[in-house]
Amino acid sequence: MALEMRTFGDPVLKTRAAPVEDFDESLERLAEEMLATMREQEGVGLAANQVGRLKRILVAALEDEEYVLVNPVIEEVAQTEEIAPEGCLSIPGIQVEVERPTAITVSGQNTSGEPVRIEAEGLLARIFQHEVDHLDGVLILDRTDRASRKAAMREWRERLLAQQG
């Protein structure tokens, strides 16, 4: 079952999620529901904050592969960075340029509590960094330059007004 998406302005998106300590059935269910929500939204990643749960769990999808990562930590980052447009399911319709390392190593656990380590580059590396940011209460608007942020905020407000009208 898909969960309700939280969108920009909801304080849960600006709040740091807490580490997962219980690897129980409810964690397994949350992971399944997050995957279902990501598929329904046609997204490439989702963090628990975005469905209103302040737990350190993310899901990601690229090509035919799906990932679930609990308590993710970015261990290593490449020296090279790249600027690319990024969107966010919690700020629908908005894209801003975000500079990030082109490759990372991320570690964490699966839903059974077993250690997981993933080396990612390109889009997958970007997705993991975006979702770990969410777990720290950080959004793409916090990662872009001031002018882009202002333009994105203006566009967001206009969208809200258009929806109300």
> Smallest distance, Å, CB 21 to Zn ion?
25
Q: By CB under 5 A, is residue 88 in contact with Zn ion? A: yes
Catalytic residue among 28, 131, 155, 158: 131
Q: 56 or 165, CB closer to Zn ion?
A: 56
Other CB atoms within 10 A of residue 35 CB: 18
Identify which range of 9-17, 55-63, 83-91, 143-151 contacts Zn ion by CB under 5 A.
83-91
Least Å distance, CB 50 to Zn ion, is 6
The 3-class secondary structure across the chain, one letter per residue, is CCCCCCCCCCHHHHCCCECCCCCCHHHHHHHHHHHHHHHHHCCCEEEHHHHCCCECEEEEEECCEEEEEEEEEEEEECCCEEEEEEECCCCCCCEEEEEEECEEEEEEECCCCCEEEEEEEHHHHHHHHHHHHHHCCCCHHHHCCHHHHHHHHHHHHHHHHHHHC
4 included as an active-site residue: no
* Residue 106 makes contact with Zn ion by CB under 5 A: no
Q: Would you say 88 or 135 has its CB closer to Zn ion? A: 88
Query: Using CB under 5 A, which of the segments 20-28, 88-96, 113-121, 146-154 binds Zn ion?
Result: 88-96
51 touching Zn ion, by CB under 5 A: no
Active site (catalytic) residues: 131
Contacting positions for Zn ion (CB under 5 A): 88
